[in-house]
Structure 1
Amino acid sequence: MNSRYIRQTSLKEFGPDGQAKLFEAKVLVVGLGGLGLPVLQYLNAMGVGTLGLMDQDVVELHNLQRQVLYSEKDLGRLKLDVVHKKLSAQNSKTIFTTHDTFLTKENAVEVIKEYDLVVDATDNFPTRYLINDACVILKKPFVYGALHGFEGHVSVFNYQNGPTYRCLYPEMPKAEEVPNCNENGVLGVIPGIIGTLQALEAVKVLTGVGEVLSGKLMIYNGLNQHVSKINFKANPTNKRITQLQDFYEAVDCDIVPSISAKTYQSLRESNKKFTLIDVRTAEEFNQNHLDEAVNIPLDNLDVFEHQIDSNKEIYIICQSGKRSELALKHLRTTHPNLTFYHILGGMNKMMTVCP
């Protein structure tokens, strides 16, 4: 058995002690889709002792483009059954606990309390907030991953008293503000990249090797292989959760001041003076941008904030709306007296409304 893991135990920074910690670990993976599969395949191959599998979906044809553990022969079968069988063949020493259910308010605390770490491999906001709140109550860390088109996000929450998911996203957005990959599409390879990064963060949390992405949101853009990191701080209020909410659904409120692409286009056609900040990378900006935009990439925001005209209303845009939302939250903290709005749907939406 020792020879099986020799390629990683021979690493001075990891060694037999790191392997022993993996053997003793219990990890719950919520979601057996594009993110959950690479997470499970690598954690299983690397020797994590106990893996919890949670999902109640069946394999569908449109899954095969990105959920590469499944084959055409698996269509119509429960994902849970397929994954359990294939992972058992990959590593017969792993203990698997199967949860033939979705994560709900009724089962979240009871299930999660049995594990050392949770990996969020879901694609919807209600479940993410549920995972967060249950992990805060139980003092368990969780590894977060999210997908949008050609982009992916990774972070680790509630780790060693670090920030929680609510410290980054205090309130649940409206469902239509940030669609999941089923509604907006995702390039097949992106979930594999992000899921593998989640697996790496899980290993670091479990073994103490390396620097964990706690208090940092990593943003990966597959179109230009650009990686940026956004720092965020813990809000002590978000660590005082003692019970789950009555329900976990999208709430009818704005998490940040925002306007639609159509409304912004009307603003462009008026005589009103304003500032538009494009927080995409220089490469993206050079490919296409609105004439009035000033390019201040998200990861350089602190350096170039002096370019912001404090005498005008300030609008922020990116490709899809995610980075502009993060930029707004940051700028609203550093410039509390200024007025900021972010454009929902970003350049993707603007291209549909521009004449």
Structure 2
Amino acid sequence: MVRYDINMPCLSEEENSILRDKTVAVVGCGSLGGYIIEMLGRLGVGKIIAVDGDVFEESDLNRQMLSNVENMGKPKALEAWERMKLVNPDVELLPVYNLIDDNNAITILQKAQVVVDALDNVKGKMALQKACEELKIPLVYGAISGWHAQITTIFPGDKSLDKIYSDAKETKNPHGNLSFTPALAASMEVSEVLKLLIGRGDLLKSKMLSINLLNNSFEITKL
């Protein structure tokens, strides 16, 4: 398809075809998730499970690409579905209007080959790690705060979030979020997803990329 011609210098025709047969679950359709869903759809990932139990509010407009002045009060997951019909109707987007937790995570995620974390709370992230551990599928983790972002890819058995959040408490983000931080972090997460799906490239496994955009620093540390 002409749509994917510009992918070809980076991806082989076979790799492009592989993407159409894959299912990726994106949990959270807000700051990170909106960008992630957009990029996965434009890449041509065949099926996207978009999970979010929240609706858009005016405070989302500064950074959440799926939000606009016309869809305030509407479910984020359903708006992701509407957006994908415009961006790439060949992609099957399955909206799940629900908050994910330990009770429903397995059911929601069981058909995915990769799960992408786009949540803004530690409890939800830990539920994702637990479910992916049981399902034996990789989890691409991302978090943002102000000028900062961090990304890692977690395989079953790694339990990387146990190390990242060993002494963390559930607190509201004191630094807020800017329009560009989620876009960059989402790009890094989608890059990890693509490498997982095509089986090529160096992954952030057992290591975390920490980004400070205010100081233009990018640092990788072992987990």
Taking structure 1 as the reference length, the TM-score comes to 0.60
Match of 1:163 among 158, 167, 187: 158
Deviation at 1:68, TM superposition (A): 2.2
Amino acid at match of 2:111: E
Which residue in the other structure is 2:148 paired with? 151
Which residue in the other structure is 2:170 paired with? 175
Aligned sequence identity (%): 27
- Identify the range of structure 1 (166-175 vs 209-218) with the bigger mean alpha-carbon deviation: 166-175
Separation in 2, partners of 1:10, 1:39: 22
Contiguous gaps of at least 5 residues in structure 2: none
Which residue in the other structure is 1:10 paired with? 9
**Gap change, CA 1:72 and 1:26, over 3 Å in 2:** same
Count of aligned pairs between the two proteins:
223
Deviation per residue, 1:135-191 (Å, 9 max, x gap): 111111010000122100011001xx6623245236462224xx43xx431222101
Taking the TM superposition and a 5 Å limit, the aligned residue runs for 1:59-138 are 59-138=56-135
Deviation at 1:78, TM superposition (A): 1.4
Separation in 2, partners of 1:170, 1:149: 18
Contiguous gaps of at least 5 residues in structure 1: 233-355
Higher relative contact order (CA 8 A, sep 6+): 2
Match of 2:182 among 176, 191, 196: 191
Separation in 1, partners of 2:139, 2:115: 5
1:37, 1:67 within 8 Å by CA — same for their partners in 2? yes
Separation in 2, partners of 1:122, 1:170: 14
Deviation per residue, 1:45-86 (Å, 9 max, x gap): 010000001112111111010002321111111112221111
The answer to whether 1:214 aligns with 2:205 is yes
Instruction: Give the number of the structure whose alpha-carbon radius of gyration is greater.
Output: 1
Separation in 2, partners of 1:115, 1:59: 26
Deviation at 1:9, TM superposition (A): 2.0
2:78, 2:97 within 8 Å by CA — same for their partners in 1? no
Deviation at 1:193, TM superposition (A): 0.8
**Gap change, CA 1:105 and 1:196, over 3 Å in 2:** same
Amino acid at match of 1:6: D
Deviation at 1:207, TM superposition (A): 0.8
Amino acid at match of 2:34: L
Which residue in the other structure is 1:340 paired with? none
Taking the TM superposition and a 5 Å limit, the aligned residue runs for 1:232-311 are 232=223
Which residue in the other structure is 1:278 paired with? none
Separation in 1, partners of 2:57, 2:165: 34
Deviation per residue, 1:242-293 (Å, 9 max, x gap): xxxxxxxxxxxxxxxxxxxxxxxxxxxxxxxxxxxxxxxxxxxxxxxxxxxx
CA RMSD of superposed structures (Å)? 1.5
1:129, 1:165 within 8 Å by CA — same for their partners in 2? no
3-state DSSP of counterpart to 1:74: coil
